[in-house]
Chains A and B, each alone.
Chain A
């Protein structure tokens, strides 16, 4: 079952011709000419479309929280930078018109005064493709003044980022969009739907979330909800990477396949290299707690994964086999967060930096046995109790994203850590 990825089987899926030949803008016409904004929002609420960016908040509920001020904005979050996440990258390069159609539908539903698509700056080709799609949309009357003669008008502006992971956090993204450093805003207010861009109510939705809207409008919220099960409705793009034979982006109906299917299945990852065995996998991007072989039979569903102590997050599954060093993997993840910390909060800025340094010294063979307790103590200072979901001492969740990898590695691979320390080198090198 393909929804957001339906067009990707065509090599020219990014062109206006292919878009229009495969039902492009049918949903936009339907929404604008046959439905009220409230009716569109109601379908999205019925669909129970969970945000595809990482937090998994219901898009329909988020829209419902929008303060009904005179000026409101829609911002599409395309700042995809969570390690191992590459599904939005695919969508913006391969189906940019669907994104523009979805954004225009969202703008109509929430009554946006202006819509902005914020794309990660490094996505040079994506920026070209999306700009082309925006230009095309203006040319054919699908954007701008009086779209398709419906009386609805809106503009979309494409905004490039400039290389900062933290700008994926929605309030940091808004700061960046206002021309500032990407500092997450202090909460409350918890939601940009109350106070967002330029202080006005703003809806921030992820690229994949928005790309689902045309299908939902065309087929109805009930049809979307009939796919998947429980709170996990519809399909989702899973980005599979690491030590697996066929890494890639796979669209699957939610909850219908397991991690084992995704990693080992013939139509998906096709397993590991010969004679290798799985030691761990990360189910939802670098900030989610690690899973192990005993978790392979969990279904790919939001609540199922949460109940098992992790998160589906950005839908990125990272596979590690027994040739890899778990200390090194945990260190690399910690180093990423340390480097990307915006520096506002002490626990994240200092804690992340020290964890990076201590992990590096263990991996390089200069660690001490007491480093393990020191690491856990640092984790506890960033996120008290080192529990899941994480407690927070910081403005945003970047800092609390460090402890899961460290604590998982230490509790599961303690012997590996001790071997590094005893032998004075990485046993996997």
Chain B
């Protein structure tokens, strides 16, 4: 818990090496911390700071700006019901109420068994399927109150396990590519090619 360990530590070090400035890895690494622990722990913040050469306060300052990062345990499934304009016009608020009564918790809270956290969310760009629901950032819609209860049932029975990983896991496809080309090398090569082209153009003019 907390600090990256094992396979995740290897991944974290790779991510930190992807940018000309390692601080660019702060957000991806916070996602990785959530993948490990479900939320961004204080230990993870300290570890991320070490990996990118920032202070813990700087990492915390960045992370706390973003809605997707949680700083205390949340449910195994974070369920977002969109109530923004396009979903509202098609029953988003009614669905949020139904979701709340199905789960027995108001928006913003987690069920006592730790299975579900319910959130009211802003537009999730699924507006043609309004009202839309996201579960651990996997999209469903249009969803009505019966459909919502059914989804919850499927989550409880494990039927959707393959489709929806536990909270915190975003993209399951990892970068599979050769090491990055140093930007200095690309800059030098471009300067050389630009020079060649200019010389060719100049010799044509003569």
Contact = CB atoms under 8 A, between A and B. Distances in A.
Contacts of B180: 114, 155, 157
B136 A124 contact: yes
A81 interface: yes
A339 B122 contact: yes
Contacts of B190: 111, 113
A162 B85 contact: no
Given A145-B181, A198-B21, A243-B90, A160 B31 contact: yes
A81 to B, nearest CB: 6
B37 to A, nearest CB: 16
B28 interface: yes
Interface size class of A (residues with CB under 8 A): 35 or more
A242 interface: yes
Chain A interface mostly helix, strand, loop or mixed?
Answer: mixed
Interface stretch (A48-56, A83-91, A291-299, A303-311): A83-91
B130 interface: yes
Nearest to B123: A83
A122 B181 contact: no
Given A128-B173, A131-B175, A198-B20, A122 B124 contact: yes
Contacts of B23: 178-179
B172 interface: yes
B27 interface: yes
A159 B19 CA distance: 10
Interface string B22-41: 01111110110000000000
B197 interface: yes
Interface in B112-139: 122-128, 130, 134, 136-139
B90 A84 contact: no
Interface string B177-198: 1101101011101110110010
Interface size class of B (residues with CB under 8 A): 35 or more
Nearest to B88: A332
B127 A86 contact: yes
A329 interface: yes
Interface stretch (A132-140, A375-383, A391-399, A407-415): A132-140
Nearest to A164: B66
B126 A86 contact: yes
A350 B69 CA distance: 25
B154 interface: no
A83 B27 contact: no
Interface in A144-194: 144-145, 151, 153-155, 157-165, 176-182
Given A113-B186, A336-B122, A179 B66 contact: no
A71 B183 contact: yes
Given A83-B122, A131-B173, A131-B174, A332 B68 contact: no
Given A84-B127, A124-B170, A160-B170, A71 B187 contact: yes
A164 B65 contact: yes
Contact of B123 (A81, A121, A160): A81
A160 B85 contact: no
Interface in A54-88: 70-71, 80-86, 88
A420 interface: no
B122 A165 contact: yes
A282 B52 CA distance: 44
A362 interface: no
Interface string A311-337: 000001011100010001100110010
Interface of B: 18-21, 23-28, 30-31, 52, 54, 58, 61-63, 65-69, 83-86, 88-90, 122-128, 130, 134, 136-139, 170-178, 180-181, 183, 185-187, 189-191, 193-194, 197
Given A144-B181, A328-B88, 7 more contacts: A114-B20, A125-B139, A135-B176, A160-B170, A182-B66, A243-B89, A243-B90
Interface of A: 36, 70-71, 80-86, 88-89, 111, 113-114, 120-125, 127-129, 131-132, 134-135, 138-139, 143-145, 151, 153-155, 157-165, 176-182, 198, 239-243, 247-249, 282, 286, 316, 318-320, 324, 328-329, 332-333, 336, 339-340, 342
